[in-house]
Structure 1
Amino acid sequence: MTIIKTAELAAEDAAVAPENMTSLQSVDSAVAAPCEMPGLHGGAHFAQGQAPSTVRKIKEAAKTLLPDALFLSLLHHKCTGRYPNLIRPVTFNEKILQRNLHPDPRYIELTDKLLVRDYIARKIGDKHLIPLIAAPDVFTPEVFDALPDAFVMKANHGSSFVEVVRNKSETSFDKLKKLADQWLRTEFYYVGRERHYRSIEPRVFFEKLLLDQRGQIPADLKMHCFGGRPGGPIIYILVISDRFGTATHGDVYDVDWNHLDIAIGDYKRSAAPGPRPPNLDAVLDIAVRLCEDFDYVRVDLYAPDDRVYFGELTFTPGAGVLPFTPDSIDYEWGKLMA
């Protein structure tokens, strides 16, 4: 097993060896504008709108023929400006790329947004689960008719498969069915070659729409948790505010709610820090409990008013091609990972 794995890693590293840079650059255009690919850097919706053109379909089909390591090397270069070292990873992104290629078997169940609910209930209690309305084998008009006036439709097998419905009378079964079918046809593994997604059976499900006392959708609290160390994990909090609105921002805080001069992915920082959540201690406590079995995991939570709800566990954020500003954060966070 060791010999096989070493050979695999050697083959992956060959794709980014200095002597092969010219060859890589010659096929770099095969990955067209990958940093704009939905689902990688946290967009609110996945690939909605007009059907792709024939040329786009051909390009997408061609990309699926690239070996995973080569595809990820090109993707990493497009998004960060560097080709990765897959044998001796140093940066955060490089270490995430290694997880894409050699995922822990636990990632499959814990990444599946339906299966993970049992794990969360055991770890922190089902009171922290967003109420599940329905998880049908088939989405039918009868399922739609039984849904409440407000809900969220999601899919379990990827990132950014989310449709918020505030008023069911303003949508229709046909519209949601078309979107759901589009999600279910998407092989999310091909978006960022995160191999653990290949084993997740696609499902559509419906959750309660979370709103705070002002009737607003609460911010996403993405807790980047670096564990496996004495004294507890190191945690950075990425707060995505107004995710489904027109003033979306992404701000990074430490556990003392200091507003850090860091930007992650496509999100722009706010001019001033947001208010400290009144239940920040409870949020941090839950994040610590959920990350205790891993050297790194991103724990997504929501904290409307005095409540804390679980969102998801993410083991390969941004598929390992996540731009940081400043770029030095990629190296600093890399030192925090095993």
Structure 2
Amino acid sequence: MRIKKVCKTVLRIIYDSDYRFYITSCYGLHNRMGDREFLEKKFKAVFHRKLDLENPKTINEKLQWLKLYDRKPQYTQYVDKYLVRKYVKEMIGEEYLIPLLGVWDNAEDIEFDKLPDQFVLKCNHNSGTGMYICKNKNNMDCNKVISELKKGLKQDYYITAREWPYKNVPRKIIAEKYIVDESGYELKDYKFYCFNGRVKLVMINSDRMSDKSTKADYFDENYNHLDIKWGYENADKLPEKPEKFELMKALAEKLATNIPHVRVDFYQTPEGVYFGEMTFFDGSGFDRIEPIEWDYKLGSWINLPQKTQ
């Protein structure tokens, strides 16, 4: 059965040029290709239709357009998990920042003995790779953590989907305080999608720290549930409206000032509300949205700015 599956995949790679590009791009074989050509080819490989950059309509099309033509230098600061702290402090206040425990240029420089029993280590320029959540320092393999962080620092987060703000982020490792939400064991993500500075869509991630796969549920700005699937399955039980929903929404809109489209993430904990990150290209603009009508509806909410490139 396994041999049959491998043969089928090999034949598809040989005869399906779109699928072949998708697979080979994952292995970095097109890293020297120009951004526009790369995005056109990958979009076609994923969605099986041409990317319309002259008259984009869906949110996934407009995200590709924004990658190419809305390149404001400050966006690099906003995606930098270390430097964005300065922007957050200036715009909404330092009290919304997760306490910083340390920052280093090299993994070998981390002073583990000075860190508390629980903490989170992450690279400032990517998402996931190299991240380590320490719940008990006595169970930590320092050498393994250092090795994974070194891999994270080497990752070129820009090249795989041409999310250009990450291209020139000065790479570092940061340590933050370990936090959980009111459940005491997980940390739900509240993601506020801002269109021209206004929240119009909210996503809540759950089961992020359990053995289950991460779930996602979508709501409008008034917390009415929406029938959308976007890269994740819905939770078995709808999450309740967070107590600080209106506060987080207002904070997100402040941080999204003068930006055509950005997602601003927050956490609600017993200690208060904390800022998570700013994301300009959800799913890199390559996650399918169901039903397809929502791809167009969300796209209609983005007013594209004048080209900066």
> Structure 1-normalised TM-score?
0.79
Q: Which residue of 1 aligns with 2:166?
A: 197
In structure 1, give the amino acid aligned to 2:223.
Answer: W
Among 61, 65, 68, the residue aligned to 1:98: 65
SS at 2:62's partner residue?
Answer: helix
Among 255, 275, 278, the residue aligned to 1:313: 278
Q: Does 1:301 align with 2:266?
A: yes
Q: Which residue of 1 aligns with 2:23?
A: 32
CA contact (8 A) 1:31 1:63 kept: no
Mean Cα deviation higher: 298-307 or 139-148: 139-148
Contiguous gaps of at least 5 residues in structure 2: 1-15, 304-309
Q: Which residue of 1 aligns with 2:181?
A: 212
- Displacement of 1:142 in angstroms is 5.8
Mean Cα deviation higher: 278-287 or 62-71: 62-71
CA contact (8 A) 2:186 2:210 kept: no
SS at 1:294's partner residue?
Answer: coil
Q: Which residue of 2 aligns with 1:281?
A: 246
Q: Which residue of 2 aligns with 1:8?
A: none
Q: Does 1:133 align with 2:98?
A: no
- Displacement of 1:126 in angstroms is 0.5
Alignment of 1:116-131 (within 5 A): 116-131=84-99
- Displacement of 1:85 in angstroms is 0.8
- Displacement of 1:204 in angstroms is 1.0
Q: Does 1:258 align with 2:202?
A: no
C-alpha distance in 1, partners of 2:110/2:287? 41
- Displacement of 1:78 in angstroms is 3.4
C-alpha distance in 2, partners of 1:32/1:191? 12
Please list the CA deviations of residues 74-119 of structure 1 after superposition, one character each: whole Å capped at 9, or x if unmatched. 3223333332112221111111112222322221111111110000
C-alpha distance in 1, partners of 2:238/2:182? 21
CA contact (8 A) 2:121 2:173 kept: yes
SS at 1:192's partner residue?
Answer: coil
In structure 2, give the amino acid aligned to 1:334.
Answer: G
Alignment of 1:150-169 (within 5 A): 150-161=118-129, 162-169=131-138
Please list the CA deviations of residues 156-211 of structure 1 after superposition, one character each: whole Å capped at 9, or x if unmatched. 11222432111111112101100000001111111211122111111111101112
**Cα–Cα, structure 1 residues 33 and 163, in superposed 2: closer, same or farther, change >3 Å?**
farther
In structure 1, give the amino acid aligned to 2:20.
Answer: S
Give the percent of matched residue pairs that are identical in Structure 1 and Structure 2. Answer: 31
In structure 2, give the amino acid aligned to 1:220.
Answer: D
- Displacement of 1:294 in angstroms is 1.4
C-alpha distance in 1, partners of 2:182/2:78? 31
CA contact (8 A) 1:278 1:306 kept: no
CA contact (8 A) 1:80 1:322 kept: no
CA contact (8 A) 2:18 2:45 kept: no
Q: Which residue of 1 aligns with 2:3?
A: none
CA contact (8 A) 1:31 1:71 kept: no
C-alpha distance in 1, partners of 2:110/2:295? 48
4+ residue runs over 6 A deviation: none
- Displacement of 1:33 in angstroms is 8.2
**Cα–Cα, structure 1 residues 268 and 33, in superposed 2: closer, same or farther, change >3 Å?**
farther
Please list the CA deviations of residues 250-290 of structure 1 after superposition, one character each: whole Å capped at 9, or x if unmatched. 0001122222110111x101233211111212111211211
> Structure 2-normalised TM-score?
0.86
Q: Which residue of 2 aligns with 1:40?
A: none
C-alpha distance in 2, partners of 1:145/1:175? 16
Equivalenced residue count is 285
Among 46, 51, 54, the residue aligned to 1:84: 51
C-alpha distance in 1, partners of 2:58/2:258? 22
- Displacement of 1:27 in angstroms is 5.6
- Displacement of 1:329 in angstroms is 1.0
Q: Which residue of 1 aligns with 2:301?
A: 336
C-alpha distance in 1, partners of 2:222/2:299? 22
CA contact (8 A) 1:279 1:306 kept: no
C-alpha distance in 2, partners of 1:169/1:72? 45
**Cα–Cα, structure 1 residues 198 and 260, in superposed 2: closer, same or farther, change >3 Å?**
same
